[in-house]
Amino acid sequence: MAIEMADIQLRRGKEPRVEGLAQKIKDAQQPEIDTMTALYTKLTGRTLDTSIVMAPEQMAMMGMSMDMRELQTTPEPDRVFLRMMIPHHAGAIVMADLIAQRSSNDTIVKMARQMVADQSAEIGQMQTLRAKIAPPIG
């Protein structure tokens, strides 16, 4: 979902700093997805069907349920991208932190901890950008 959001932002965004962050997110997450998919296959002997990894209600509970149509149609793509991506990253941090705590696989734990660190830093960047391009009203 983050890659899809980043792709939309890269097509529609107007703010170069937000576009740069979207590209950074896309560049980081695709290799992570590829690594996790390969690791899943290696550990289970099955191919992962990524279309059914998380149910919509699970995504909503993690703050990751987004209406992509809004990002595709809004006249303020930069502001909407940041508003949507911050909770998306926060949900991913919760999941990765749980995995880091519960997994006995060193590779998975290392990857999860790196995701927590990377996405926490990106949330900080997004909050800074949001304050600069879309300061709170009042």
Encoded tokens for 25: 């997110």
Question: How many residues belong to the chain?
Answer: 138
DSSP structural state of residue 129 = H
Query: Under a CB-based contact definition with an 8 Å cutoff, are residues 24 and 122 in contact?
Result: yes
- Calculate the alpha carbon distances from 89 to 85, 125, 138 in Å: 6, 12, 27
Work out the number of other CB atoms within 10 angstroms of the CB of residue 67: 10
Task: Encode 10-47: b = buried (16+ Cβ within 10 Å), e = exposed.
Answer: bebbebeebbebbeebbebbeebeeebeeebeeeeeee
Q: What is the DSSP string of 113-131?
A: HHHHHHHHHHHHHHHHHHH
Q: What is the pLDDT of residues 73-130, one digit of tens each?
A: 999 999 999 999 999 999 999 999 999 999 999 999 999 999 999 999 999 999 999 9
User: So what's the pLDDT on residue 66?
Assistant: 66
Give ∠ CA 73-77-82 in degrees, rounded to 5.
130
Query: Under a CB-based contact definition with an 8 Å cutoff, are residues 4 and 25 in contact?
Result: no
Q: Which of 28-37, 56-65, 80-89, 100-109 has the lowest mean pLDDT?
A: 56-65
Encoded tokens for 109: 């734990």
Q: What is the pTM of this model?
A: 0.84
